[in-house]
Structure formats: structure tokens, C-alpha cells
Structure 1
């Protein structure tokens, strides 16, 4: 995928992995349009502009139409926005569930639905989605998050195959644990207790750009996480047993409250 002289719409570009993508994209010669609910908090600079977009909005499709009309130069979209909450399922409020479904999955589907016809007509375009290892491995305390990321992985796979005879590229990148503000201190302590490796946003961003430049269809990050993804796909009982051994540690960090 060519990055130079290309214009990417970056969703989730105000923090974490998305923010870490900004400088490498600009250095590669791309122009970046950062979409945010709070555009005034992002400082425009050479190669970067900012627009308003609320991925959780009921009228997201209308916002996308307005954005697209204002920026016909967009020929690529990078979706790395996300919502998360580490908690037992009964402890999650409906708003927690809705937020994750809306931002992690619904917005990705609406963004693709909007841009696919435009990219097909232009005979060029790229859709890049940032998923998670938890889009392939169900993990206690992340039931809703896993559901949305499993859905995103399935969606991108189906969309890629639907567009296989077109010039539109669909890329899925699945990071492992990453040190972003989306993770609470509780989650950071859990990762330390389990001995999980945690990547920096900058490292993940470098892998996303590499996947784009190499025309990867999918890329899973981290070892042994990539191995666990394969094992979970063919011998899930082995992962069940490994998770069962970790469950007492995980439960120490899980919320025990129940919301009605």
C-alpha cells in the first residue's frame, strides 16, 4: 500500500495507538485528517488537519456524508478507536455494553459502508482496522470487549472477501496488550501479575504501518500471543485449561459488584 501523497482519515487519533501513528504517517509522506469529538484539543500542524466526528452518534452515517463531501481527497481510513471496560459481565452497566458495541463494532461497519462505494468508484482505497488478540481469544473480564473484537475480525474478513475482486484493500491488525490510557491501573496490575508482555503504542503503530506498506491482509502481534491465537482456533480446550489456572489471579482484579 502506498503511503506517500495519500490522505488518511484517522479515527481514534487523539490518544494511544492512533496518536502514535500520526508522526510516522506524516514522515512517510501521507496527509492525515484526525477525526475527534473534541477537535479543539488537537493542534493542527503540517500534514495534519482535524475534523469533528462522533463515532458513538446515532446519526454517524450523516456525519460521515458531511465529512466526505468536505474532504473528497480521503483515499484511506484507519480505524483504531475503541472502548473497553475490565469487569465481570454482571457488573457492567448497559451503557458500558452499548459504548463498546457502538464504538468498537458499529462505527467500523458504518465507516466501511460509507467509504467502500466511494473507493470502488475511484478504483483505489484502503480500510485499516485495529483489532485485538482478544478478537481471537476470549478472556475473562473482557466479555463485551471480546465480543466486539471477535465481531470486528469477522467483519473485516468477510468484507475483504467481498471486495476481493476490487482494488479496495482491507487490513486487520491485532495488537496484544498495549500501554494506553484505555487500560486502568487495575488492568496494568493484572498484566504484571500474569507476567503479560505489554507493548508501547509506538511499537504497535510501527507494526500497523509495516502491515500497510507490505499489503498484509491481517497481522497479529506479539509472541507467544500469536501462537495462542492459532492454538485457540484448533485446540481451544488447551487454552481453556491455561485460563482456568489463571482464573484465581484474574478474579482478584475483577469487580465483584453487580449493577441492576
Structure 2
């Protein structure tokens, strides 16, 4: 679908990737409904985008919805359907990093709720409307960690593996319909999503990071070329392929990551949150 034909509901719009994605989509001619957890955040962003891109309120509406609440998800789906949404880009998510023993069960549940269950529930709510469109797309912003389990990311990877599996199943379930399903897997990205611990871990392990603008540009390309799945960065793309073919063969490749995870308290001495 060409961007100028797209009326995009974008969740997580006030996040680092979300903001960049909204601007890139608008520059390409799309209309974008920006959705965020708070009305103030969503309304402020919509106002900024309208002014910057010379768009009307219909071309950049906003919606507030806490995706952890089923009633809010249903309301958001109704608003998006009434506006004529034909693309759903799910970019909302929650971070989780550190050894499993350092994670609290309630926090683990919240990450799974935000990264996996909420996108599933919103898809369920909006899908009947999308099926009635001439052409529609479901685009899930996941992570390369939806295909590679990395030390320190057990909870986050579980949520993104689940999201990727959901996208894959939906792609096959909706094959032959008017709804096209896609999964975008960025590698580590330079946003406020990253804590000081993540920054130290990435530096110690030599993990490259992309800008949010790089991810947003890839998202636009996916929208228009309709590729079913794309991972960003090298060697991450290669690792995804190898991990899919022979996951046990890669286990030794992440010993440095395991050692770094254990050494994080020392690495963090003197650091402050970004």
C-alpha cells in the first residue's frame, strides 16, 4: 500500500520510534491517528505534527487509550474504525532487562501484557473493520529479540517471540484475504527505552544501535513494499537466520553477554540514567 493511501492507527506514538514513525509516514503522504496512554501526551503530539507537516485534524487525529484495559482497547478500535483506519501499526511496548532473578513477577506480567496480549486484543477488536476495507495492513513493531533469545532479555524476548509467533499465525490465517500481516524486528535502538544498564551492556558487548529514524524509515518501506517480515542490522539479520536453522550452534556466541550480565553491577558504578 502506498503511504498516501494509508490511514494509520499508530500505537505507542509518543515513544521514540513512534514519534519518528508518525513524522515519516506523514511526510510520505499518510494520515496518522496517534494513540498514546494519556490524552495530554497524544493531544500534544498531534498538535505538533499538524503544525510541522501542515495537516488537518482529520489527517492527524489523536486517541488516548491504556492498552492494558480491555474497555479502552474496544473504544480505541471504534474510534479508529469510525475514522476509516486501514493500517494498524502497533509500536507500543514495555522494556525488561536484567537477570531473571532480578525481575518481579508483577513486572513480568506487565511486560507480557503490554508487548503481547495488548496487540492481540487490539487486533481482535479492529480486525472486523479491517476485513471490510479494500486493502488493509497489520504491522507489528517487534524486535530482533523475537527471533534470538539473549542473556538478560528472557522476559522481553518471551514477549517478542510471542508477538512474532502471533504475527506469523495471523499472516497465514488471513492469507488470501484483504488484510496483509507484517512483522518488523529492529535491533537495539537509541531511544529513552534504554536504561543505563542496557547502555552499559551494549557497550561492553559491542552491540550496535540504530537511530529511531532508521527504524521509522524501515517501517515506511515495509508499509509500501508489503514484505511479510524484516529484521534490521548486521550481523543481527544473519544471526536470525542461523538461530532459526540451528539455535544450539549459537549458544556459545553469547558467552560474553552472559559474563557482562553478571558483571553489570561493577560496570554501572558511577553511571547515571540517560
Same fold (TM over 0.5): yes
Residue pairs, 1:150-229, within 5 angstroms: 150-229=161-240
Give the match for residue 74 of structure 2: 62
Greater helix share, structure number: 2
In structure 1, list runs of 5 or more residues that go unmatched.
Answer: 256-260
Q: Is the 8 A contact 1:89 1:141 kept in 2?
A: yes
Q: State how far apart, in whole Å, the 1-side matches of 2:89 and 2:121 are.
A: 13
Q: State how far apart, in whole Å, the 2-side matches of 1:245 and 1:93 are.
A: 25
3-state DSSP of counterpart to 1:59: helix
1:251 aligns with 2:258: no
Give the match for residue 80 of structure 1: 91
Matched positions, count: 254
Q: Is the 8 A contact 1:3 1:25 kept in 2?
A: yes
Deviations 1:133-191 (A, max 9, x none): 10011111111111110000000000000000101111110000101111101101111
Q: State how far apart, in whole Å, the 1-side matches of 2:77 and 2:144 are.
A: 32
Question: Using a 3 Å threshold, how does the CA distance of structure 1 residues 58 and 167 change in structure 2: closer, same or farther?
Answer: closer
Q: State how far apart, in whole Å, the 2-side matches of 1:193 and 1:68 are.
A: 43
Deviation at 1:50, TM superposition (A): 1.4
Give the match for residue 92 of structure 1: 103
Give the match for residue 22 of structure 1: 22
1:128 aligns with 2:139: yes
Of 156, 159, 175, 1:148 maps to 159
Q: TM-score, normalised by structure 2?
A: 0.88
Q: Is the 8 A contact 1:131 1:152 kept in 2?
A: yes
Q: TM-score, normalised by structure 1?
A: 0.92
Give the match for residue 39 of structure 1: 39
3-state DSSP of counterpart to 2:61: strand
Q: Is the 8 A contact 1:60 1:110 kept in 2?
A: no
